[in-house]
Amino acid sequence: MVTRRMTRRRLLKTSAATVGTILMPELVGRAADSVVPQFETLSTDHFWYRLQPAGVYIDSQRENKAFGYAEERILLSEDNGHTWPHRVAFPDAKRITFSCILKNGNILFGTGSKLYLSTDNLKTYRPVTVKDTNGSDYVPHVPQNAKNPGWYFHTLSGINTWDVSGEEMLVWGNYCNVLGGATPVNIYYSTDSGNTVKVAYAFGQNPFFRDNGSAGGGRKGKLLGNAENPVICRHTHSVAYNPVENAFYACTGDLDRGVGRECHWLRGTYDAKKDRWDWQILVSDRSNSRYKSGGINFVDGQLYWISDSNGAKPHDRGIFRCDPADLTRPEKHTLLFNPQVESANMIIQDDVILASHCAPASPMGTGIVVSTDSGKTWAQYDLKEYGRRSPTRFHQKNSDGWFRVDLRSGWIKHAEVLFIKPKKQLFQKHANATNHARKG
């Protein structure tokens, strides 16, 4: 029998009177714990949480399915990771940096500069050759160091697929030039469940991230990227779709290095009949601004994002909301909450907002930011038992109600996988009862 514990955690006090009420922690009754029957589960006032079970790194999830990897094999579960009936040998399993479960059950996954697709629940898989913007094969560069081929497909976002005019589209940008070798920065897409993957947008050649054989690249070596594009960046932070506009938004990082700004917001529209993209640069700004950001979400046509502002002070940080048409007008932005720490990771689903702290910049070990009422009230928790970790790649809830989150050591090296289940209804009933008692 698994022992489950309720733990009361310290809530960071933040001066945010103008952006919402901070809920002080109140212990939720133990009876609620009985609704979380799997593995060892810990608790805050706002959510239950647990690490994945040992043995399989659960890299992505969708509804009841989970894709994971272990020593030289990849695995598929159809009951949210309780059992793994589908598996196949894959020698480079621990080099996987990207995976996505498509609506029709296909699984697209990548290691370094290689991309693979399984269409039969991992009975088999095949390599996928990416197509360039002109229709030719997109050939990855020959790395100076074979151990560092580049993170061509790695992404910070857990949500990479959307329903676009009745068809599923997969669109994502690579977060790279930190580990795995110097890498060209691209936005990729697929309209046929991963059978064909193409480059939607190719950023220019950044002279600070040449292939010199190192894990992050440097000032010497081979230039990578689109030589005809003057727009440069270090990596992509987020790509998201707004169905109200039928448009995609993307944002990038990272710093100001004296050869052109790297923090951009782009807006892209896709013409399915012509299989053609139109991308426009909306904003290019410095690294200490709110436009160095990530975690793009759209809810009811409104744009939400979280600032990753750093560099020279003062830092323009927080979780913001605006009409997409007002993105370039800061005076039209609503600051929902300021965690006082840089971050590029956030998800919104069913009125729950989850975001995180970047561990190297945070006073917390593992910092989680949460709102269960669409941003009216906020709390922050330190899951310090996991050490210094940066939560990234927030996946939508599975069919058991659990969000899936990468825990990265530093801010990007793979470490563990965390699952979070909001106590939305229980907590709101508790808060309402408390408010009623205070009024009485």
What confidence tens digit (pLDDT) does each residue in 77-86 have?
999 999 999 9
Closest CA to 60 of 119, 2, 125, 110: 110
How large is the average pLDDT for residues 411-430? Answer: 81
Look at domain 55-407 and name its CATH class: mainly beta
pTM of the full structure: 0.89
Cα(93)–Cα(75) distance, integer angstroms: 10
pLDDT tens digits for 126-166? 999 999 999 999 999 999 999 999 999 999 999 999 999 99
pLDDT at 439: 34
pLDDT at 40: 82
pLDDT at 434: 38
428 neighbors 371 (Cβ within 8 angstroms): no
pLDDT tens digits for 38-66? 468 999 999 999 999 889 999 999 999 99
DSSP readout, 56-122? -EEEEEETTEEEEEETTEEEEESSTTS---EEEE-TTGGGEEEEEE-TTS-EEEEETTEEEEESSTT
Domain definitions of the chain by residue range: 55-407
Q: C-alpha distances in angstroms, 304 versus 23, 177, 236, 316, 329?
A: 21, 26, 17, 15, 14
Residue 3 clears pLDDT 50, i.e. is over it: no
Q: What residues does 65 pair with on adjacent strands?
A: 62
pLDDT at 112: 97
Average pLDDT of every residue of the chain = 89
pLDDT at 183: 98
pLDDT at 53: 87
The 3-state DSSP class for residue 330 equals helix
pLDDT grade for 118, boundaries at 50, 70 and 90: very high
pLDDT at 39: 60
pLDDT at 20: 33
pLDDT tens digits for 324-342? 999 999 999 999 999 999 9
Q: C-alpha distances in angstroms, 77 versus 74, 121, 273?
A: 10, 9, 36
